[in-house]
Structure 1
């Protein structure tokens, strides 16, 4: 009887040991699986886009669609391509062995429609080169770098004095959309950052052209905009779809007289179009032209059948070299300004022997119609 009891006890102990061994092995296998990038020398990749979806390619092989993440990337330099419906982005990035459960390479992009009208951020970790804590480059270069709202320098930028921890990073340059990110600095790696800034296609403030109520002046002195107007138009359309919630335009017209619809497509033919209540037109000109070109004005009149801008007049010789501007259409009204002979001004209103004009820095006043002549295209 005692012998049977001993045998049963040994058998139970054996089963218990076997069960414990199986559970331990399963746990170890689970740990290996979770940390397989460290055990097997793999790297990590995370790819996302700001708007819509995109395809992710790795050395020309499709991996999947955004948002994409993998912990089984082979270390080394690899070509990563992010392909969207309107534009694509690609970069060759060095992948090193990932020793922690964070993607070793992170790519966040706004693919936009072109190189100028797109933006993004690339982050990658380097465990070997510890010459600095962070290294930052930007496109365009010479952008201002802020860390926790303190200006620290211009791109290309690097620092070896940052303490371990998390920081708010901001990169900005006049004429471009700023980029921001929350970054983590640790002593055992260098964080590399590459930032691309989106060229803003519209001015900070859009004002109507003098004498008009529906034509807004978006003129620029940037060659990146004025040398490729069709791309500029589509850049504005994309900007309005993804960022601007205020003023949007029904039509665009450029300094050459070309007209585009609200979707950026060219308006062709000689058919007139009727402006509806609330419609607005954006004028894409060159600041050096100092206002609407004759080509643009002629095209507007041809397509709409009306003079949207209003006529201009030129001040004739007066004997004094200037013409008085009065507060009311009367010789007894007070003088509020003067316009030099030869200057051109926009007409806002007409009365018998008097014209209300726009002069100086947006001032309005009345001049005698006897000393001006209409300027014709």
Structure 2
């Protein structure tokens, strides 16, 4: 009996050691690429660490055949990327991304005043079936028309599967917002995720303002908002993710109103007064016109 117990304990020790060596000597050395562009030129921070200014590419060296040998690349893992414009009075931008092994994650941002800023985040992740592919598209705001190579595919959020593996043009359109187009490459064995930030079209606002005095009704942009409800504590926590495990980044007060960016089950993503985004529990907030 003692021999059996000793043997089981020995197996547990070996398994723990194997996991340790895998995590710290193998996974730690897996790397992926990151490309960041912004206008105007911006400082780039990843996980709180300063990487440099845009345009920035932590990519494989041109003379490197094996992507894993590129010292410029970044360790695999989840990060928060933060862009701080070097000119203009624009609020900084931040987004949670994941660096995947041997693939490129792309972040692009065009800063502008108010809700006119736009951008896109593109990432790749492996899927089990190497003969299939996926394309998921989300947008802020949602319900944008999705065109792939000029063919309407539906509205965001949208998931497409088994597309022709090649280069495609992805376009997002929504009334009152600037059209967003980006070139993507669909590859078998991967899911490509595209998140588009649509900027308000100034010409649309000007047209709506000019025509407001006429008898004919003119469409206008309705920005969704949420009002913070009473919580019993006098404040509501704002988190960096849509879960209770998300890190608290600030607090808001009952009665205050914020622009609603997106929704997940039980959560609202809001734009804070400093331009940052955060998540609040939908239980303590209500939509307002």
**Under a length normalisation based on structure 2, what TM-score does the superposition of the two structures give?**
0.55
The two structures, once aligned, show a CA RMSD in angstroms of 2.8
**Under a length normalisation based on structure 1, what TM-score does the superposition of the two structures give?**
0.42
Q: Which has the higher contact order (CA 8 A, sep 6+)?
A: 2
Distance in 1 separating the partners of 2:97 and 2:77: 8
Match of 2:16 in 1: none
Indicate conservation of the 8 Å contact 1:129/1:190, yes or no. Answer: no
**Per-residue CA distance 1:157-208 (angstroms, 9 max, x = gap):** 1111201111111110000001001111110211110001001233377599
Distance in 2 separating the partners of 1:88 and 1:179: 21
Indicate conservation of the 8 Å contact 2:119/2:198, yes or no. Answer: yes
**Per-residue CA distance 1:274-312 (angstroms, 9 max, x = gap):** xxxxxxxxxxxxxxxxxxxxxxxxxxxxxxxxxxxxxxx
Indicate conservation of the 8 Å contact 1:132/1:158, yes or no. Answer: no
Q: Which runs of 4+ in 1 moved over 3 A?
A: 128-132, 204-210, 219-225
Q: 5+ residue gaps in structure 1?
A: 1-37, 211-218, 226-377
Report matched runs for 1:1-377 at 5 Å.
40-49=29-38, 51-71=39-59, 72-84=73-85, 85=87, 86-98=90-102, 104-114=104-114, 116-128=115-127, 132-203=133-204, 206=207, 221-224=220-223
Secondary structure of the structure 1 residue equivalent to 2:202: coil
Distance in 2 separating the partners of 1:107 and 1:145: 20
Distance in 2 separating the partners of 1:92 and 1:159: 23
Higher Cα radius of gyration: 1
Q: 5+ residue gaps in structure 2?
A: 1-26, 60-72, 212-217, 225-289
**Between structures 1 and 2, the one with greater strand share:** 2
User: Cα–Cα, structure 1 residues 205 and 39, in superposed 2: closer, same or farther, change >3 Å?
Assistant: closer
Q: How many residues align?
A: 174
**Per-residue CA distance 1:18-62 (angstroms, 9 max, x = gap):** xxxxxxxxxxxxxxxxxxxx994111100001x321000011111
Indicate conservation of the 8 Å contact 2:133/2:189, yes or no. Answer: no
Distance in 2 separating the partners of 1:208 and 1:174: 15
Distance in 2 separating the partners of 1:224 and 1:183: 30
Distance in 2 separating the partners of 1:136 and 1:157: 5
Secondary structure of the structure 1 residue equivalent to 2:51: strand
